[in-house]
Amino acid sequence: MSVAPVAIAGMGCISAAGRNLPDSMKSLLRGERSPAPPVRFASDHPVRFPVFEAVDFEEPPDLLRTGAFALHAAREAVADAGLDRKTLGALRVGVCVGTTVGSVMSEETFCRGYLAGGDPDMAPFRRILRSNPADVIAREFGLSGPRQTVVTACSSSTDAVGIAGSWIRAGLCDAVIAGGADELGRITYIGFISLMITDDSPCRPFDKNRKGLNLGEGAAMLLLASEPALRRSGMRARSFLLGYGSAGDAYHLTAPRPDGAGLRSAISEALATGGVSPASVAFVNAHGTGTPDNDRVEGRVLQDMLPGVPFLSTKGYTGHTLGAAGAIEAVFTAACLEMGKIPASAGFETPDPDIGTLPVREVTTVPGSCALSETLAFGGNNSVVVLGRA
């Protein structure tokens, strides 16, 4: 059942942790994090919940912030792969991007105007139609391959990376720019508060006293390429996508299945397709949102399926970036494999006996050549990728 590895030739990312991947990794290893109430938008909610707003970057005015994030990370990934536009244009390159808000027809100013009985300006609506993140990247680089925007909530960009590997193995593309992007705005902020799963202090994934998540925003892109494309274009494999698995809980719209059956299936499929045994896993970059339900289910599954394998959540550094989370965490995972070490799981202090296992509390050396990055989504989809060191 194992599948052929697919090379990852370039990576890029932006979030609260940094404007690019090297800066982000330095920040993570220094243990820096600075969640704060949002400054880009206001809310009349009496509690000011902290969030992780991304560092400033150049935003094209005609795009939604999500599309701009996607483009920023894609440019870094393409440059990291050592490709110029001409070389890229000579390949069949697809785009597969996960998002949650990147193609949603909701714009508050427009809706307020309509509700007030006016005829609001259509510019925001047109901007949404222009900003589908896969289209934005395909247009920017003049790409000829398939394009797909995955909107499976928080597993979207893990799925996008897995799908990209499938397209390359099937011969649909020479290369794929795959990843995720999501912006943070009032609608998302208010929505998560309404669900009562946000923490009013900096998030504490897997901690006994965790109260919920902090939202974040950003993007990450990976440039995956076939072996012939690597050779033809002078790229080198920076790491590998070894395996991918996904499975549904079929349980609840917003809560994970208590027995973690969907996550177990996803991990099993990812390990099997990657041809990887549990004993050879160096570490797990967990979903670890900091919500009581997610961390309890995920921690128990890890304890059961991968006992003794070090794990962490990087959401303590970036917040929960929703549709971008899977990709951001995948590039962090690949970068950690390269460095042979992982940062401390930020926010964790007090062990939770209800989980029965602990994330790493300090920068930790991780010998080994492969690692897992996993995501759990609203709607019950669980997705896992296995990444390998080059």
- Does the footprint of another protein cover residue 153 (CB under 8 A)? yes
Among positions 26-55, residues that touch another protein (CB under 8 A) are: 43-46
Give 149 or 357: the residue with its C-beta nearer to another protein. Answer: 149
> What is d(CA 96, CA 137) in angstroms, rounded to the nearest whole number?
9
Per-residue tokens: 256: 């994970």
248 counts as binding another protein under rule CB under 8 A:
yes
Q: Is 234 in the site for another protein (CB under 8 A)?
A: no
Query: Please, what is the minimum distance in Å from the beta carbon of residue 69 to another protein?
Result: 17
Considering only residues 120 to 139 of the shown chain, the ones binding another protein according to CB under 8 A are: 122, 125, 129, 132, 134-135, 138-139
Among 76, 183, 249, 329, binds another protein (CB under 8 A): 249
**Angstrom distance (rounded) from CA 324 to CA 154:** 8
Catalytically active residues are 154, 287, 320
Quote the tokens at residue 192: 């998560």
Does the protein bind another protein through residue 118 (CB under 8 A)?
Answer: yes
Closest to 38 in 3D by CA, of 26, 29, 47, 27: 47
* Separation between Cα atoms, residue 222 and residue 167, nearest integer Å: 14
CB atoms within 10 A of CB 123: 11
Among positions 37, 251, 278, 292, the unique one binding another protein when judged by CB under 8 A: 251
Q: Which is nearer to another protein, 172 or 363 (CB)?
A: 172
Select the residue interacting with another protein from 31, 36, 62, 191 (CB under 8 A).
191
- Is position 339 an interface residue for another protein (rule: CB under 8 A)? no
- Write down the residue that tokens 């499929």 correspond to: 269
Q: Are strands 281-285 and 311-312 parallel, antiparallel or unpaired?
A: parallel
Query: Residue 39 or 170: which CB sits closer to another protein?
Result: 170
Contacts of 22 (CB under 8 A, 6+ apart): none
According to CB under 8 A, which one of 140, 182, 183, 269 is a site residue for another protein?
269
User: Among 159, 298, 329, 352, which residue sits at the site for another protein (rule: CB under 8 A)?
Assistant: 159
For 107, other C-beta atoms within 10 Å of its C-beta total: 18
Which span sits near another protein by CB under 8 A: 65-73, 185-193, 276-284, 344-352? Answer: 185-193
Q: What is the CA radius of gyration of the chain?
A: 20
Residue 149 sits in the site that holds another protein (CB under 8 A)? yes
The Cα–Cα gap between 184 and 22 comes to: 23
Does residue number 185 form part of the binding site for another protein (CB under 8 A)?
no
- Shortest separation between residue 189's beta carbon and another protein, angstroms: 9
Q: DSSP assignment of 127-150, as one string?
A: HHHH--HHHHHHHHHT--S-EEEE
- What span, in angstroms and rounded, lies between the C-alpha atoms of 90 and 54? 33
Give the whole-angstrom CA distance, residue 378 versus residue 237. 33
Residue 57, φ and ψ in degrees, nearest 5? -155, 170
Minimum distance of another protein from residue 309's CB (angstroms): 24
368: part of which helix (H) or strand (E)? none
Q: Rule CB under 8 A: is residue 85 a binding residue for another protein?
A: no
Q: How far is the CB of 360 from another protein (least distance, A)?
A: 30
Q: Which of 247, 325, 337, 371 binds another protein (CB under 8 A)?
A: 247
Least distance CB 146 / another protein (angstroms): 4
